Chain A
Amino acid sequence: MSNTIIWTIVILTVLGLVLSLVLYWVARKFKVEEDPRIDEIEKTLPGANCGGCGFAGCRAFADAAVKAGNLDSNYCPVGGSDTMKKVAAILGCEIKEAAPLVAVVRCNGSCANRPRTNDYDGARSCKVKSSLYSGDTGCLYGCLGCGDCVAACQFGALSMNPDTGLPVVDEGKCTACGKCVAACPKRVIELRAKGPRGMREYVSCINKEKGPAARKACAAACIGCGLCEKTCQHGAITVTDNVAYIDFGKCKLCRECEAVCPTGAIHGVGFPKELDKEAVKKRIADRKAKAAEAARAAAEKKEDDNG
């Protein structure tokens, strides 16, 4: 009896020792050399695994960054500049400063602005809806209001406003990962620079139809009249395919475009004061009058010189 117990203990001990040696040998033989910086970088990253950087997750991002040795094409939108500085310190390389971005919904087709022309009775999904038909309003381009972007957001930054039927971005929570941009079948959402102290100007419409058709579909549509383009002193606005676009890299936040827009399609957000349209319009008129005066004076001078 006691013999059996002793033999059992002996056999198991020997077996354990032999197997541990085998395991030790295998671990040595097939050891994967991994750069310790990958672990370090992964710890620095936010760990959201959202895929906003274009990689499958934070680990994949860290791996790619270490392999590349620089951060030229890798950027974590969720962590932003602070995180990227830390990552750059680990890698020992320089980074370019990138302006923080935020998701912007470029549609103001609320129930009041954009009358419903029919009633949608299908699956509550923008993707499905856009595959079936043009939508429940006269606008072919605007928000469909089924909330695919809200479902795609992992940070709870998007919600539907029940009054307007449009998504609303919570700037504090938005990390600019770009998931909502990809989820929107109409490409209504764009990532734009947050702007100094959150101040920014944007065109809240992407309707490419000609003015009358766009206006008929929605009272807040950009009709492509080009007034903003003519007014802008900084060359930030271009009108292509009957819709204006403000280049946030060039915009100086003078708000003149917002004041002249006949349909109110240009929105300014984050400004401390409400826009005094009349004052801005007067400023533009004064400037134009001055320019005309100067031109006339120059012409007269030229005439005098000639004469």
Chain B
Amino acid sequence: MAKLTFSIGGIHPADCKLSRGCKIETLPLPPKVYVSMFQHLGAQAKPIVEVGDSVKAGQIIAEPGGFISAYVHSPVSGTVKSIGLRKDLAGFNVMHVEIDVEGDEWAEGIDLSPELVTAIPEDRDFILDRIKMCGVVGLGGATFPTHVKLNPPPGKKADCLILNGAECEPYLTSDFRILLERTDEIVVGAAIMKKVLGDCPCVIGIEENKPEAIAAVRASLARLGYPGIRVEVLRKRYPQGGEKQLIDAVMHRQVKSGGLPIDVGAVVQNVATSLAVYEAVQKNKPLVTNVLTVTGDCLPVDRMHNYLFRIGMPLSWIAEQAGGVPEGAVKIISGGPMMGKAVANFDAATVKGSSSILYLGEGTRRRQETPCIRCGRCADACPMGLEPFLLKKLYQYGDPAGLEQNAAQDCIECGCCQYSCPAGVPLLDNIRMAKAQVMGIIRARNAKK
């Protein structure tokens, strides 16, 4: 069967899935956790506990702060020590709830047994409510609240649910491991989301470099027998797991500039989100755990891990459990090497969307910037069909109208342009600023209307 892929642009970075053989290990509990109120896209959550309260694991500790926001639950049992500002990954002050860990007692009504529950609830609203109350957000990177995404606005209908198992970022293996080890749960999660979306077909897209995962999901589908779910093999190419790229690859439809996937009848969810949906709906277990990869090019393979962590564990504490920061590491990145964030504060707490601790060595420093040689590789690499060299110039010359005409707002910040630039020009850095500028103008214009 033909391998699917998106139509324009893209790059082929080295795979580096070094930790693919490491089984998922459960981390012990740290003495303290710091739960950020910014675990998701949208409004900050509002804490509803007070200092001195004792909480159980899975208990709600913060309410959504707006329509696009999510519940936050305590990942551990213990006492609330403080509620206040703490520095996040990027060094900015964010509201955190600090909890002293005491024992490991879970809130009532949460099913922690490993048995697979395959019977899907009939009531759509019940499912959506469970997903909302369990604080499930998209775990593919953007952490968009899942209950909002699974509830398309009236008049719009999903034609296809795409489950994203591409994991196109180099190094990361957390999605791969859950596809192998929690296959059945992911498939049931897919069936649940499929049902919510009105029984549309569902495609699980997995990149060709994960044959074991493809086989496992196919076997699970055959065993569980849900109709209308199939696996599609995707070509290994970055950014295959980008939402718009995946829709192009699987459905051959293009999302228009400024449009949403639902406009073309697509809903894309990550496989990790599917697992979280399964746990939320079938087990009433809130999203307080996720899988994270500890890896890097300067880390010996025997020190690599795939950890099941609880949110709020400090990155530095997790690193200690894995044997500390390796020698020769010059960069620590949370997330993949292409789109992840450099860690400015290693004591920052993990959040729902944390996917890795990545140590990169000397060879990954930025090259010295030299003048653009007009080779056009950035334009070839851009999966959105933009012209990065032009956008950078327009931004530097301060031309917001030109930026909007050239669709700077469509940039998905995948980094293909900067990766492919032989002159080491910081294209994405500038385009990201340009995008923010144009988005601001568009928002101001819409607000006026």
A127 with B342: CB separation less than 8 A: no
Q: For the complex, would chain A's binding face be called helix, strand, loop or mixed by DSSP majority?
A: loop
A132 at the interface (CB under 8 A from B): yes
Contacts A121-B331, A122-B366, A140-B92 given; indicate if A133 touches B342 (C-beta within 8 A): yes
Which residues of chain A have C-beta atoms less than 8 A from B345's C-beta?
117
The answer to whether B91 touches A134 (Cβ under 8 A) is yes
Closest Cβ of chain A: how far from B22's Cβ, in Å? 28
Interface residue tally of chain A, by bracket? 10 to 19
- A4 CB–B CB distance under 8 Å: no
Set of chain B residues within 8 Å of A124, measured between Cβ atoms:
369
Q: Is A118 an interface residue (CB 8 A)?
A: yes
The residue among B331, B341, B342 with the most chain A CB atoms within 10 A of its own CB is: B342
Query: In the complex, which residues 398-449 of chain B have their Cβ closer than 8 Å to any Cβ of chain A?
Result: 426, 429-430, 432-433, 436
Bound-complex Cα distance A133 to B433 (A): 13
Provide the residues of chain B in CB contact with A134, threshold 8 Å.
87, 90-92, 344
B92 touches A123 (CB 8 A): no
Contact residues on B (Cβ < 8 Å of other chain), bracket: 20 to 34
Q: How far is the CA of A128 from the CA of B369 in the complex (A)?
A: 15
Q: Decide: A132 and B90 in contact? CB cutoff 8 A.
A: yes
The answer to whether A135 and B331 have CB atoms under 8 Å apart is: no
Contact A122 B344 (CB under 8 A): no
Which among A118, A125, A127, A128 is the interface contact of B344 at CB below 8 angstroms?
A118
B93 on the A face (CB < 8 A): yes
Cβ-based interface call for B374 (8 A): no
B365 contacts the other chain (CB 8 A): yes
Contact B436 A131 (CB under 8 A): yes
Which residue from B93, B366, B429 sits with its C-beta under 8 Å from A125? B429
Q: Is the CB of A135 within 8 A of B430?
A: no
Say whether A140 contacts B91, CB under 8 Å.
yes
Q: Are B426 and A128 in contact (CB under 8 A)?
A: yes
Asked if B430 and A128 make an inter-chain contact with CB atoms under 8 angstroms apart, the answer reads yes
Q: Which of A118, A119, A131, A135 contacts B433 (CB 8 A)?
A: A131
Tell me if B366 and A128 are in contact (CB < 8 A): no
Q: Is the CB of A122 within 8 A of B91?
A: no
B interface footprint on A117-159 (CB within 8 Å = 1, 0 otherwise): 1110111110110011111101010000000000000000000
A117 to B331 CA separation, bound complex (whole angstroms): 13
Question: Which residue in chain A gives the minimum CB-CB distance to B427?
Answer: A123
Residues A128 and B429 in contact, CB atoms below 8 Å apart:
yes
Contact status B430-A123, CB under 8 Å = yes
A136 to B330, CA, bound (A): 14
A131 to B429, CA, bound (A): 9
Residues of A close to B429: CB separation below 8 A: 122-123, 125, 128, 132
The 20 listed contacts between A and B (C-beta, < 8 Å) are A117-B91, A118-B342, A121-B331, A121-B342, A121-B366, A122-B426, A123-B369, A123-B429, A124-B369, A131-B436, A132-B90, A133-B90, A133-B341, A133-B344, A134-B87, A134-B90, A135-B91, A136-B344, A140-B92, A140-B93
Given contacts A131-B433, A133-B90, A135-B91, 10 further A-B contacts (CB under 8 A): A118-B344, A122-B429, A123-B426, A128-B426, A128-B432, A133-B91, A133-B92, A134-B92, A135-B344, A140-B92
5 closest Cβ pairs, A-B complex: A134-B91, A123-B426, A133-B90, A123-B429, A128-B429
